[in-house]
């Protein structure tokens, strides 16, 4: 396990303290190693300006003391991505993750570690979609996940969610999911019928001879960001006040040595939550896919809270080692470990499981569609090249002037010259509400959509941010001023030929992933596959990224072509 990075062995470190918490999140059902490009645009404003997680490229490497050109620099940044990917290979993969987990467990000793899963585990791949997440439940059981919470897990039917949780070998925790009043009145099933908690809010675990309370915090905006029709009896929220009461009760009644929040809030939300809720020793977070190499220690009324985020797509494993004194956590060590397939041998048992899980679907997964003429990627506040392919496909197949595509932060990358298979398309589009539409919209309606998503992304209050990135556009351009007031961030909308988009004029618009109701068209992956088979070469001639105003000194942007 030697590599040419910052240390002879990325994974070598002396055990510290008595308890080890291992944390992965947002793997999005990627069982095999993948390429995944980190963002070159991840803007932060206000308290988040030029602070993690809103640092990219060289600014991020400087902040964390990471040597440019190293394997860790490749894992954590977008810099020289294609060349570095060819040098260092793929990342993630459950068989390689299993090897790392086993090594860290052995180092810490029997009974001295926990493996925590922050959610977005059952969604993001074709096999997860076709098995309704069951392939990932089996993989996590084999991996030995002890505790998990969720988000995209709730985009399956509620009955499917409950069935998967019942088959999961660990514990599923979520303090912020309650039954609706109607469901509670009608006697719907819940973990606690008195409180209305659908799932166990927290669990107590003995680790290293110490008691650690792990509280679950599922994604608070699930019924807004995703269809509520799949989970009609459940209501979500940040519920900071209720979380404080729960922490106080745990401290008083259970008297644990540490209280940890396993969160799917997004890192900006977690940083604010750490300020307003006291009594949490650590927040191990996910949702916004931020690979943050150093922990952030936040002061609050009762002391300090460690806040971390462990990236996405199986690229990283966070390791938090805790040392205890007479009054609880005395000290800690944290490492964010990249999972390099070339540096970690594949675990044989997990490899065999993954092969069995994929075997029924191999013909469909490996269907060739086109050859990538350039790097295809998604991640970033605005359009990536694979996003543009999706938009171009909708315009071509649907004969529309404009296309929209949601700013999801999952989706693997394809290197130039590689074949774009059906599996890679499914990585980008595989949701349980994939239906497409083509309809008329006025210019005013188009602007309202852009403004609404922009407000979610750049709202100055983290508790009003829902995660994700800006809606992707095809066939149109605009100017975006992220720090402007709500409703005034979008201007100068034009079609690709330069024609202004007029407020009262109708335009033919294609899109997919409607949250409110099911759209009438074919699934988006069928649209993209049709387009790629027709063009044969996956190429982006024009990337519809907006011109940005007021971000020139922002360290959350790098190598961006449109600054004003």
In a domain, 196, yes or no: yes
Q: Is residue 188 part of a domain?
A: yes
CA distances from 313 to 144, 335, 356 (A): 18, 18, 21
Look at residues 355, 378, 397 and tell me which one is the last residue of a structural domain: 355
Is 462 domain-assigned?
yes
pLDDT at 262: 99
Dump pLDDT digits (tens) for 281-326.
Answer: 999 999 999 999 999 999 998 899 999 999 999 999 999 999 999 9
Pairing state between β 316-325 and 469-474: unpaired
417 and 292 belong to one structural domain: no
The span from the CA of 141 to the CA of 157, in Å, is 21
At 224, list the tokens.
């807004």
Q: What are phi and psi of 147, to 5 degrees?
A: -145, 140
Domain that holds residue 147: 19-34+90-355
- Dihedral sign for Cα atoms in the order 76, 80, 81, 83: negative
Q: Is the dihedral of CA 180, 186, 192, 198 positive or negative?
A: negative
Task: Give the count of beta carbons closer than 10 Å to the beta carbon of residue 385.
Answer: 20
| Cis bond upstream, residue 53 (ω within 30) | yes
Percent of the chain with pLDDT over 70: 99
Does residue 223 contact residue 235 with C-beta atoms inside 8 Å?
yes
416 assigned to some structural domain? yes
pLDDT in tens, 171-200: 999 999 999 999 999 989 999 999 999 999
Percent of the chain surpassing pLDDT 90 = 95
Distance between CA atoms of residues 561 and 81, nearest Å: 17
**pLDDT confidence of 3, banded at 50, 70, 90?**
very low
Are 149 and 262 in contact by the 8 Å Cβ rule? The answer is yes
8: pLDDT confidence band, cut at 50, 70 and 90? low
> Measured between alpha carbons, how far is 218 from 466 in angstroms, rounded to an integer?
12
- Range scoring the smallest mean pLDDT among 180-189, 207-216, 445-454, 528-537: 180-189
How far apart are the C-alpha atoms of 66 and 89, rounded to whole Å? Answer: 19
Tokens 């050859």 -> residue: 371
Q: Is 554 a member of any domain?
A: no
Which two tokens mark 191?
A: 């973990």
Query: Which of 366, 373, 381 is CA-nearest to residue 450?
Result: 381
Q: What contacts 267, CB < 8 A, 6 or more positions away?
A: 52, 53, 285, 287, 288, 290, 292, 307, 309
Domain shared by 341 and 390, yes or no: no
Q: For 418-437, how does the pLDDT look when each residue is reduced to its tens digit (9 = 90+)?
A: 999 999 999 999 999 999 99
Q: How far is CA 385 from the centre of its chain?
A: 19
Same domain? 297 vs 216 = yes
In a domain, 51, yes or no: no
**In this model, does residue 4 exceed pLDDT 50?**
no
Does residue 495 lie in a domain region? Answer: yes
Q: 337 with 430, same domain? A: no
Q: Would you call 98 helix, strand, or coil by DSSP?
A: helix
Average pLDDT for the chain:
96
Answer yes or no: do 276 and 403 share one domain: no
Q: Do 127 and 274 reside in the same domain of the chain?
A: yes
Supply the DSSP string of 31-91, one letter for each residue. Answer: -S-BB-PPPSB----GGGTTSTTS--HHHHHHHHTPPTTSHHHHHH--TTHHHHHHHH--B
Instruction: Assess whether 381 and 334 both reside in one domain.
Output: no
The reply to whether 166 and 266 lie within a common domain is yes
pLDDT band for 5, please (50, 70, 90 cuts). Answer: very low
On whether both 349 and 372 belong to a single domain, the answer is: no
Short-list 561, 110, 130, 72, CA closest to 316 = 72
Distance CA 438, CA 507 (A): 10
**Strands of 210-217's sheet in order across:** 202-207, 210-217, 258-263, 282-285, 303-309, 296-300
Among the listed residues 418, 398, 436, 438, the one whose alpha carbon sits nearest the alpha carbon of residue 525: 436
205-209, long-range: CB within 8 Å, 24+ apart, which pairs? Answer: 205/114, 205/146, 205/147, 206/111, 207/18, 207/19, 207/20, 207/21, 207/111, 207/112, 207/113, 207/114, 208/17, 208/18, 208/19, 208/20, 208/108, 208/109, 208/111, 208/112, 208/322, 208/324, 209/18, 209/111
Looking from the CA of 262 toward its CB, the CA atoms found within 13 Å total 36
The CATH number linked to 388 is 3.90.780.10
Residue 6 has pLDDT above 60, yes or no: no
Whether 267 maps to a domain, the answer reads yes
Residues 217 and 236: beta-carbon distance below 8 Å: no
- Asked if 342 and 247 sit in the same domain, the reply is yes
Q: What is the mean pLDDT of residues 117-123?
A: 98
C-alpha separations of 407 from 119, 185, 225, 391, 466 in Å? 19, 37, 11, 12, 11
Distance CA 50, CA 530 (A): 42
**Which positions ≥6 away from 438 have C-beta within 8 Å?**
394, 398, 399, 400, 508, 509, 510, 521
CATH number, domain of 124, equals: 3.60.21.10
Of the candidates 303, 330, 355, which is a domain's last residue? 355
Q: How do residues 367-383 score in pLDDT, each as one tens digit?
A: 999 999 999 999 999 99
**Based on the structure, what is the number of domains in the chain?**
2
Q: Are residues 174 and 249 in the same domain?
A: yes
Whether 261 and 135 map to the same domain: the answer is: yes
């Amino acid at each position: 396990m030697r590599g040419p990075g910052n240390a002879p062995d990325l994974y070598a470190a002396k055990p510290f303290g008595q308890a080890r918490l291992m944390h992965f999140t947002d793997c999005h059902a990627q069982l095999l190693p993948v390429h995944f490009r980190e963002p070159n645009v991840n803007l932060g404003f206000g308290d988040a300006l030029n602070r993690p997680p809103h640092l990219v490229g060289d600014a991020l490497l400087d902040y964390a003391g990471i040597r440019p050109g190293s394997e860790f620099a490749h894992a954590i940044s977008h810099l020289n991505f294609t060349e570095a990917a060819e040098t260092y290979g793929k990342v993630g993969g459950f068989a390689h993750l299993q090897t790392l987990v086993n090594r860290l467990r052995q180092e810490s000793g029997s009974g001295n570690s926990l493996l925590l899963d922050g959610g977005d585990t059952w969604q993001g791949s074709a096999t997860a979609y076709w098995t309704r997440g069951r392939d990932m439940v089996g993989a996590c059981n084999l991996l030995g996940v002890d505790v998990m919470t969720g988000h995209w897990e709730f985009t399956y039917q509620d009955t499917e969610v409950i069935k998967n949780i019942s088959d999961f070998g660990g514990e599923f925790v979520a303090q912020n999911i309650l039954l609706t009043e109607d469901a509670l009145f009608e006697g719907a099933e819940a973990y606690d019928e008195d409180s209305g908690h659908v799932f166990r809010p927290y669990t107590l675990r003995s680790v290293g001879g110490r008691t650690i309370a792990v509280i679950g915090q599922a994604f608070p905006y699930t019924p807004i960001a995703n269809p509520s029709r799949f989970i009609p009896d459940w209501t979500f929220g940040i519920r900071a006040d209720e979380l404080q009461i729960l922490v106080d009760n745990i401290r008083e009644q259970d008297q644990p040595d540490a209280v940890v929040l396993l969160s799917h809030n997004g890192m900006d939300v977690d940083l604010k939550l750490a300020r307003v809720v006291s009594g949490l020793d650590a927040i191990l977070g996910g949702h916004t896919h931020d690979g943050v190499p150093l922990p952030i220690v936040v002061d609050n009324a009762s002391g300090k809270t460690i806040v971390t985020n462990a990236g996405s797509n199986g690229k990283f494993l966070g390791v938090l080692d805790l040392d205890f004194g007479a009054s609880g956590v005395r000290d800690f060590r944290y490492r964010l470990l990249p999972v390099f397939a070339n540096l970690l041998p594949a675990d044989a048992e997990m490899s065999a499981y993954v092969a069995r899980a994929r075997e029924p679907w191999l013909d469909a997964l490996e269907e060739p569609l086109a050859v990538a003429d350039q790097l295809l990627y998604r991640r970033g506040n605005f359009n990536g090249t694979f996003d543009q392919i999706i938009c171009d496909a909708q315009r071509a197949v649907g004969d529309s002037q404009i296309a929209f595509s949601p700013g999801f932060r999952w989706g693997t990358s394809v290197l130039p010259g590689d074949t774009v298979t059906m599996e890679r398309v499914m990585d980008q589009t595989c949701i349980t509400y994939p239906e497409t539409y083509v309809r008329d919209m006025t210019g005013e309606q188009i602007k309202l959509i852009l403004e609404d998503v922009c407000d979610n992304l750049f709202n100055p209050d983290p508790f009003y941010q829902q995660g994700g990135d800006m809606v992707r556009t095809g066939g149109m351009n605009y100017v975006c001023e992220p720090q402007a007031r709500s409703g005034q961030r979008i201007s100068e909308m034009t079609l690709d030929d330069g024609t202004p988009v007029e407020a009262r004029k109708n335009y033919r618009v294609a899109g997919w992933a409607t949250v409110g109701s099911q759209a009438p068209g074919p699934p988006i992956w069928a649209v993209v596959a049709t387009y790629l088979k027709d063009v044969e070469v996956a190429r982006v001639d024009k990337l519809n990224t907006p011109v940005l105003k007021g971000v020139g000194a922002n360290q959350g942007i790098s190598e961006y072509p449109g600054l004003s």
